[in-house]
Structure 1
Amino acid sequence: MTLYIEPGRPINLGPLVPLGEGGQGVVLGLLDEPGVCFKFFLEPSEDLDRRVNGLLKQRPTEWPDGGEQVIAWPKWPLRDETGRIRSVVLPRFDGASLYALFDADQRLEFLDHPTWATCLQAAIRISSIYRQLHRVDVVIGDVSPNNLIVDRSGRVALIDCDSVQFVDDWSREVFPADMATREYCSPEALGSPARHLAPSHDLFGMAILLCQLLMDGDHPFEGRPLRGPDHGVEGNIREGTSALFTPERLVPVAGRLDLRVLPRVVQQLAFRALSQGHTHPHVRPSAAEWERVLRGVLNDLLGCPRNANHFFPAALGPCPWCARYDAGIADHFPSGSRGLR
C-alpha cells in the first residue's frame, strides 16, 4: 500500500522494525532513523481521521521532542490513496516501561543509576508531563505504567497520546479517552464510567504512579482484605482500602515499605490524593503542586556514607535503606559490594 505525506507526494518508508503494539495499532521504526517512528492503525475510519486531525491542531509549539521528558504527540499523518489516515509519525523514544522502576532487579538492568534519586527524578518528570497536558485541557484518561517509557538515564516519555481526551480547538468536538487501565482508574470512573473525564481523574492515577515510584513499586491499593471477598486492586480502589492510609483493613505483608520513608510533605500530598480525594476529587493535588513539592525533596536529598546508591530526604534522619538492610530486609538499592538478599 502506498502512503502519502500529502496529496500527490508518496513516501517510501523502507524496511521497518516492530517496536510495540496495542489494541489500536502497531508501532514500527526505521532501521536508520532513531528519531521517529510510525503508528499504523488497525481500524482506519472517518472518526479516527477527525481525532487525529484534532490532535495535530492541539499540539503546543513549546512541547519539545527531546529533553528530560517527552510527550510523543503525533507530528503528521500518512494517508492512503483515498485520503484516509493509516498512520501517524511520532517522536521515537527507546527505553523500558515504567514498570522497570518498580522492581529492584529490573532497575539494576535498565538504569545507569538505579537509585531512589532516579525514581524521584522520574516522578518529577511524570508530574511535569501531566502538568503540561492539563494546562491545555488534555486529560490522559488511560493512566498506566505501560504508557510511560524510561531510558537508562531516567528520562521519561508519554506514549499512546492518540487515545487522550481533548477538545478540537476549531470544531469544539469533544474526543473522549478511548482506553482505561482499571488499576489506575479514579473511583468515580470505576463507579460510573463517564464519557467526559475531569483532570482530577488523572490526578488519582498519577498519585498512584508517583507513590509506586517512591515506595519501591508497591501499589497503594494492593493487598488482600482482612474481611470479605478479595476483588483485587480495583476492588480496593472502589472501597477506599489503601495500604498507606487504611492498613488495618488489609492482611499485613512482611517487609512492605512504611509510609514514613516519604517526607511529611509528600505524605500529605498522597493523603489528599488517595484518601481525602477518594470521595472528594476536587481536593486532589494538581500535577503542578506534585512537581513543585518533589523538586523540593530532590534539592534536600542526602547521600549515605555506607552505600553510594542510597539517597534519602534529609528530614528522615538516618538512612532508611540501611535500616531495612540491617533488619534483614533485601537492599533494593544495592551498591556493587552487596546485592539483593
Structure 2
Amino acid sequence: MTVSAYYLNGRPIELGAKLGSGGEGDVYEIKNDPKVAVKIYKKDKAESRASKIRFMIQQRLAEKAGKMVAFPQAIITDSKGDFCGFSMQKVLGYFPVHELYSPKSRRLKFPQQDYRFLVHTTQNIIRAIANVHRAGCVIGDINHSGILISKEGLAVLIDTDSFQINDGRKIYNCQVGVEEYTAPELQGHSLTKTLRTENHDCFALAILIFYLLGMGRHPFAGTDPDDPNKELGHQIRDYQFSYSLQHSVTNHPPKASVLLKDFPIEIRRYFEQAFGARKGGYFRKKTLLPFQRPTALQWVEALGEMQRTLKQCRSNPQHYYPEASHSCPWCRIRKETGVDYFGTNAQQQKQNNLISLKQAAQAHNPQAACALGLRYFEGIGVSKDYQEAFRWLQQAEKHGSSEACFNLGVIFYQGHGIGKNLDIARKYFEKAVMMGDVDANYNLGVMYYNGEGVSRNLATASKYLKKAAMKGHHLAKGLLDAMA
C-alpha cells in the first residue's frame, strides 16, 4: 500500500526527486526545502526501526556531531501518525570517497588536487568519525560508500541509521559490514548480533586512511608466498599486513606501491598498531589478539604533523611527499612503472585554472581574489609569495569576502612575510566574526583562552567558542569540554 501523504513534525511535506535507494528504503528531496532530505523505510522495515530512530533524535545526535555527520533530525509519519522514516541534512555535489582514493577517478573528479589535498581530506574524514564516537555511537560499518567528499575536501558521513547505539536498556546493533573493512577478530563471524566497539571502528578507519594515503591500495592485498591465492578476508584474519616492517609477516606488497618507510615514524607505528597482533608478537598461536588501535584523534594529530612537513619534489612540482621519505615515492613509482599518480594532466589543468582565476580576480571577483591569495599563501600551483597573498586577500576582503578577512587575520597571527601583529590579527578576526565566519570565532576564543595579544579572559573565550561550537566546529567543542 502506497502512502499518499507524509508529515514532518506535523507539517505536510511533498516528496521530490529520489536521491538514492537501498535495501531498507529510499531517500528523497523535499519540494521547496533545499536543505533537507528524507529517508522513507519500506513498509516491512519501518516498525523495527522506529524506536532506534526516535532515540537518536531525542539524543540530538545531529547537533552533537555537526554537519559532518548526517544523523536523523526529525520523524516522518503518515496521516495516521505512524512512523515512516526521518529527515536529515541533504548532501549534494559530493562524491563517494573511493572516487578520491582511486587514482583513475581522482584524475577525473579532482584533477587539480595533489597529495596535500589527500592528506587534508583524510583528516576531515577522521574528524567526522571522531564526532560520531564523541556523540556516543559506534559506526560499525565504515566503508567507501558511507563517506562523501566535496571538491573542497569536506567530508560527510551518511547511512547513519545503521550506527550502533545504546539507549541504556537496549543496544541497537549495526548488523552489516564489508569484509575488506572488518577487523581480524570479526572475520567470518555473523555480524547480526555482534557487539561492535570503537576499536573495531578504528581498524576500519586505518584501512580507509591507508586507501587514501596509499593510492587506493588495500593494506592486506599483497602476495603470500606460501598461498598466492589466499583470499583478502583470510589475509586480514591472519594479521598479514602486507606493508609491515615486522619480519614475522610473510606477505609482500604489490609492485609500484607506497611503502611504509615513506611515512613518518609515528604514522608507521600507528599502521602497525592498527593492523598487527599483540601478546608475544605476531603469529604465536593462541595469543593472536588485536592491539588497542590508534583512535581517530590520535590519527588527526599525527596526520596534521605530517601535513606540516610535506616536501615538494625538486624534479616535479606536482609531487608532494612526507619528509620522512628519503626520496620522492611518486618519482620512484613513475620510474618503475611509467605511471605518474600526480602527472602532467593534472598539472596542465591546474595551470589553465590558474589563468582563469587570475582573470576573475583582476575583474574584482572577491571569491576568485580570495582563492588566488590562498594559492600564493600555500604555494598551490604557484611559488609561495606572502606579499602577493596579502595583496589579493586585501582586495577580496574589501569586496566583502569573510574568508579573506579571516585569512588576513591568520597572516598577522602567524607573521608570515609581513611580521606578526596580534592586535591587527584580532581586529581582522573580529571583523570576520561580524561577517559570519565560524573559524574566526574559534581563533578569537583561542586568543582569549591563551591571552595572546589580549588579557586572558575565559568568559570571553567561552563566548566565542560557544558560537563556533553551535555551528559544528569540532575543535571549539573540544576546547569547551577541556574548559568545563
Match of 1:12 in 2: 14
Task: Tell me the alpha carbon deviations over residues 271-321 of structure 1, each in whole angstroms, 9 at most, x when there is no partner.
Answer: 001013694445211111111111111111222344333211223243221
- Give the Cα–Cα distance (whole angstroms) in 1 for the partners of residues 34 and 314 of structure 2: 40
1:209 and 2:208 matched: yes
The aligned amino acid for 1:27 is: V
Task: Tell me the alpha carbon deviations over residues 152-197 of structure 1, each in whole angstroms, 9 at most, x when there is no partner.
Answer: 12211110000000112xx532111132112101122225445311
- Give the Cα–Cα distance (whole angstroms) in 1 for the partners of residues 171 and 81 of structure 2: 23
Is the Cα–Cα contact under 8 Å of residues 148 and 157 in structure 2 kept in the other structure?
A: yes
Is the Cα–Cα contact under 8 Å of residues 223 and 242 in structure 2 kept in the other structure?
A: no
Task: Tell me the alpha carbon deviations over residues 42-88 of structure 1, each in whole angstroms, 9 at most, x when there is no partner.
Answer: 234332110110111233434332xxxx1011111211123222121
**How much does 1:112 deviate?**
5.3
The aligned amino acid for 2:324 is: A
Is the Cα–Cα contact under 8 Å of residues 165 and 174 in structure 1 kept in the other structure?
A: yes
Task: Summarize the Cα distance change of 1:337–1:179 in structure 2 as closer, same or farther, 3 Å threshold.
Answer: closer
Match of 2:343 in 1: 334
Match of 2:66 in 1: 64
Match of 2:80 in 1: 82
Is the Cα–Cα contact under 8 Å of residues 310 and 319 in structure 1 kept in the other structure?
A: yes
Moved more, 131-140 or 250-259: 250-259
Task: Tell me the alpha carbon deviations over residues 96-134 of structure 1, each in whole angstroms, 9 at most, x when there is no partner.
Answer: 111112221211111253311111112211221221211
Match of 2:418 in 1: none
Match of 2:35 in 1: 35
- Give the Cα–Cα distance (whole angstroms) in 2 for the partners of residues 304 and 52 of structure 1: 50
Gaps of 5+ in 2: 283-287, 349-484
SS in 2 for 1:45: helix
Match of 1:135 in 2: 134
Match of 2:159 in 1: 160
- Give the Cα–Cα distance (whole angstroms) in 1 for the partners of residues 32 and 6 of structure 2: 19
Match of 2:50 in 1: 49
Q: Point out the structure with the larger strand share.
A: 1
1:240 and 2:249 matched: no
Moved more, 239-248 or 124-133: 239-248
Match of 2:425 in 1: none
Task: Summarize the Cα distance change of 1:242–1:182 in structure 2 as closer, same or farther, 3 Å threshold.
Answer: same
Moved more, 235-244 or 318-327: 318-327
Is the Cα–Cα contact under 8 Å of residues 142 and 179 in structure 1 kept in the other structure?
A: yes
Is the Cα–Cα contact under 8 Å of residues 24 and 41 in structure 1 kept in the other structure?
A: yes
Aligned length: 330
Is the Cα–Cα contact under 8 Å of residues 148 and 159 in structure 1 kept in the other structure?
A: yes
Task: Summarize the Cα distance change of 1:58–1:113 in structure 2 as closer, same or farther, 3 Å threshold.
Answer: farther
- Give the Cα–Cα distance (whole angstroms) in 1 for the partners of residues 99 and 346 of structure 2: 22
**How much does 1:202 deviate?**
0.4
Match of 2:181 in 1: 184
Q: TM-score, normalised by structure 1?
A: 0.88
**How much does 1:32 deviate?**
5.9
Gaps of 5+ in 1: none
The aligned amino acid for 2:319 is: H
Larger radius of gyration: 2
Match of 2:26 in 1: 26
- Give the Cα–Cα distance (whole angstroms) in 1 for the partners of residues 253 and 76 of structure 2: 53
- Give the Cα–Cα distance (whole angstroms) in 2 for the partners of residues 121 and 41 of structure 1: 35
Task: Tell me the alpha carbon deviations over residues 235-279 of structure 1, each in whole angstroms, 9 at most, x when there is no partner.
Answer: 211122221127963466332332222222111100001013694
